[in-house]
Chain A
Amino acid sequence: MPATFTSFYFLCFYACILLIYYLIPAKTQWFFLLSASIGYYMLTGNGILILYPIAASAIAYGAIRIMAGTQDGKRRKRALCVSLVLLIGTLVVLKYINFGVHTVNGIASLCGAQGAVWKGFQFLVPLGISFYTFSILGYIVDVYNQIAAPQMNFLKLSLYGMYFPSVLSGPILRYREDGEQFFRPHPFDYRQVTFGLQRMVWGFFKILVISERMNLVVNTVYDNYTQYPGSYIWIATVCYAFQLYTNFSGSMDIVLGMSQTFGIHLPENFETPFFSRNISEYWRRWHITLGVWMKEYVFYPLLRTDAFQKLGKKLRGRFGKKKGKQLTTFLAMFLLWFAVGVWHGGDWKFVIGSGLLHWFYIVSGELADPFFKKMMERLSIDPKSRWLDAFRILRTFFLANIGFVFFRASSAPDAFRMLKAGVSVWNPEVLFNGSLFTLGLDVIEAVIAIVSLLILLTVSLLQQKGAVRERIEKKKLPIRFMIWYALLFYTILLGYYGPGYSAAEFIYQGF
């Protein structure tokens, strides 16, 4: 069975699970979800790899039991450290060891070495390892910090680690907020189930109708960028921004909607990020659970280490209170953004495109802020003006797109070459002479894509004023039915299924 939620077999699997979930005694629902999660994991990939999430849950269980059973600080710390080393070690070995090998080989080749200095490793990487590892790591740290209740039932802990809707693509969970609801009985609630299904349809619309269409244009240009320089690259990059957003946020709509049908509420991962006015805000609205995780378990602890406290004191003494504080924060942010980049994948294109580039944006923004404030004062520009906000939104979108070039290109050097090709060739005429219709979408397909993007934009704008599903719920029955059935049939009829139907793989699933 394909792992993707849009595959026909998965939908049959989900329909059976949902039906049985509400037929069995409510007290046993959590155990059934665990069985379904194990079944899903085993059916969707190499079954033996399920040992990894089981081992991760077992490590967490051992550490949590030790921490819950003692007040001895040293013993608790030892349990924390051993479990963190084992979990992070597994992640590093499976996902990042080749990053180190390739980096060393790259440096060696720059120094004139012939061929690879070190050989890479071939590992079978379990699906969703970055997501479930982070959910489990956060929980262990929270138990250590005594802000989450220790879960003493191994099977329940395993469900938290392996819950099938979120195990492959998130959101990254926090046990102290999301964990206990998995084990509560969830009697059938018509509103919750219909709300969940509606959200799933919205997710399918985003993925099948928009993301898959954008994918065609993106592949054409990114796989042959030497033939498609200048405007083509920018058009394809904007398409990629929408492809990635609709794919990832659409998969989150399906995950959150599916969970809602089980009576489980997971944290939101997106909040219309392309409406952000600066990069910091963008990261508070894009992949929210990763940002919160990084803040709580990397950034704050890092700034509170003795080393950083001493460094902060030194820098404040040398550069003054404000600048010293700023420099310390920038340094910690550099490590934070490096970690964010690495989380996305062991490749410099991720480290730059999803990490250090954004660090650079935020730091330059902070440093340039006083200058811009003064400039606006002199030019009598109202900082709260709508036009300025529109400009800020466009600027942030553009900056994010530069990052997407790295994210989508096959390597960091390729991304640099593409950016160069994007600015060195001036061919705006391709926007108007019909050339764009040769990139994979003909006129009709392009019209469907544009209309669908307009629907997305309209709904996103409505979301700024409150929950759209609740507003639709207040409408009369025929209108309600018309809206949801129109969306359903629009998705079924116009969804791009690609050859073989299960082409809609989630981009973030690889992480």
Chain B
Amino acid sequence: MTREEVFATLNGVFQDVFDDESITVGEGTTADDIEDWDSLEHINLIAAVEQEFGIKFSMGQVVTMKNVGEMADIIMSQIKD
């Protein structure tokens, strides 16, 4: 899977979780850019991403990832493994 494909899939997941089809995420997208992305939705988002890509984030990654770019990095590294 290329990085572009990862982002394309992430767009779908974000749109589904936040129930908003206008969402498009990029490398620097953070919780501040999406209105409903609070600490409650963060964990639901994580679960949805894990399910979509068939991966598992560690607890450390869940609390330290700063933006969608970092999320994509982790996804890419786990897919390669």
Chain B residues whose C-beta falls within 8 Å of the C-beta of A145 in the assembled complex: 58-60, 63
Q: B22 at the A/B interface (Cβ < 8 Å)?
A: no
Residues 42-77 of B contacting A (Cβ, < 8 Å): 43-44, 47, 58-60, 62-64
Number of interface residues of A (CB under 8 A): 18
Contacts A300-B59, A301-B59, A304-B59: A147 and B64 contacting too (C-beta < 8 A)?
yes
- Checking B43, B47, B58, B60 against A299 with a beta-carbon cut-off of 8 angstroms, the contacting residue is B43
Alpha-carbon distance between A300 and B44 when the two chains are bound, in angstroms: 10
Residues 291-328 of A contacting B (Cβ, < 8 Å): 295-296, 299-301, 303-304, 309, 312, 325
Interface of A is mostly: helix
In the complex, the answer to whether A300 meets B38 with C-beta atoms within 8 Å is no
Q: A142 at the A/B interface (Cβ < 8 Å)?
A: yes
Q: A35 at the A/B interface (Cβ < 8 Å)?
A: no
Alpha-carbon distance between A64 and B44 when the two chains are bound, in angstroms: 31
Q: B1 at the A/B interface (Cβ < 8 Å)?
A: no
Nearest-CB residue, chain B, relative to A312: B47
Interface centre among B47, B58, B63, B64 (most CB of A within 10 A): B63
Chain B residues whose C-beta falls within 8 Å of the C-beta of A333 in the assembled complex: 40
Alpha-carbon distance between A141 and B62 when the two chains are bound, in angstroms: 13
CB distance from A253 to the nearest CB of B (A): 26
In the complex, the answer to whether B59 meets A295 with C-beta atoms within 8 Å is no
In the complex, the answer to whether A300 meets B60 with C-beta atoms within 8 Å is no
In the complex, the answer to whether B60 meets A146 with C-beta atoms within 8 Å is yes
Residues 7-52 of B contacting A (Cβ, < 8 Å): 38-40, 43-44, 47
In the complex, the answer to whether A296 meets B63 with C-beta atoms within 8 Å is yes
CB distance from A104 to the nearest CB of B (A): 34
Alpha-carbon distance between A39 and B43 when the two chains are bound, in angstroms: 43
Contacts A145-B58, A280-B38: A304 and B64 contacting too (C-beta < 8 A)?
no
Q: Mark A115-149, 1 if CB is under 8 A from B, else 0.
A: 00000000000000000000000000110011100
- Checking B38, B44, B58, B60 against A325 with a beta-carbon cut-off of 8 angstroms, the contacting residue is B44
Chain A residues whose C-beta falls within 8 Å of the C-beta of B60 in the assembled complex: 142, 145-147
Q: A329 at the A/B interface (Cβ < 8 Å)?
A: yes
In the complex, the answer to whether B63 meets A303 with C-beta atoms within 8 Å is no
Nearest-CB residue, chain A, relative to B44: A325
Chain A residues whose C-beta falls within 8 Å of the C-beta of B43 in the assembled complex: 299-300, 303-304, 329
In the complex, the answer to whether A329 meets B44 with C-beta atoms within 8 Å is yes
Alpha-carbon distance between A142 and B44 when the two chains are bound, in angstroms: 22
Residues 320-366 of A contacting B (Cβ, < 8 Å): 325, 329, 333
Alpha-carbon distance between A309 and B48 when the two chains are bound, in angstroms: 12
Chain B residues whose C-beta falls within 8 Å of the C-beta of A147 in the assembled complex: 60, 63-64
Chain B residues whose C-beta falls within 8 Å of the C-beta of A301 in the assembled complex: 59
Chain B residues whose C-beta falls within 8 Å of the C-beta of A141 in the assembled complex: 59
Q: Mark A281-297, 1 if CB is under 8 A from B, else 0.
A: 00000000000000110
Chain A residues whose C-beta falls within 8 Å of the C-beta of B47 in the assembled complex: 303, 309, 312
Alpha-carbon distance between A296 and B43 when the two chains are bound, in angstroms: 11
Chain B residues whose C-beta falls within 8 Å of the C-beta of A329 in the assembled complex: 40, 43-44
Nearest-CB residue, chain B, relative to A141: B59
Chain A residues whose C-beta falls within 8 Å of the C-beta of B63 in the assembled complex: 145, 147, 296, 300
Nearest-CB residue, chain A, relative to B59: A145
Chain B residues whose C-beta falls within 8 Å of the C-beta of A304 in the assembled complex: 43, 59, 62
Alpha-carbon distance between A181 and B67 when the two chains are bound, in angstroms: 25
Nearest-CB residue, chain A, relative to B58: A145
CB distance from A70 to the nearest CB of B (A): 17
CB distance from A416 to the nearest CB of B (A): 30
CB distance from A295 to the nearest CB of B (A): 5
Residues 122-178 of A contacting B (Cβ, < 8 Å): 141-142, 145-147
Which B residues fall within an 8 A CB radius of A? 38-40, 43-44, 47, 58-60, 62-64
- Contacts A280-B40, A300-B63, A304-B59 known; 4 new A-B pairs at CB < 8 A: A141-B59, A295-B39, A301-B59, A303-B47
Which A residues fall within an 8 A CB radius of B? 141-142, 145-147, 280, 295-296, 299-301, 303-304, 309, 312, 325, 329, 333
Q: What are 14 A-B contacts defined by CB distance under 8 Å?
A: A141-B59, A145-B58, A145-B60, A146-B58, A280-B40, A295-B39, A300-B43, A301-B59, A304-B43, A309-B47, A325-B44, A329-B40, A329-B44, A333-B40
Task: Report, nearest first, the 8 A-B pairs whose CB atoms are least far apart.
Answer: A145-B60, A147-B60, A296-B63, A145-B59, A303-B43, A295-B39, A147-B64, A300-B43
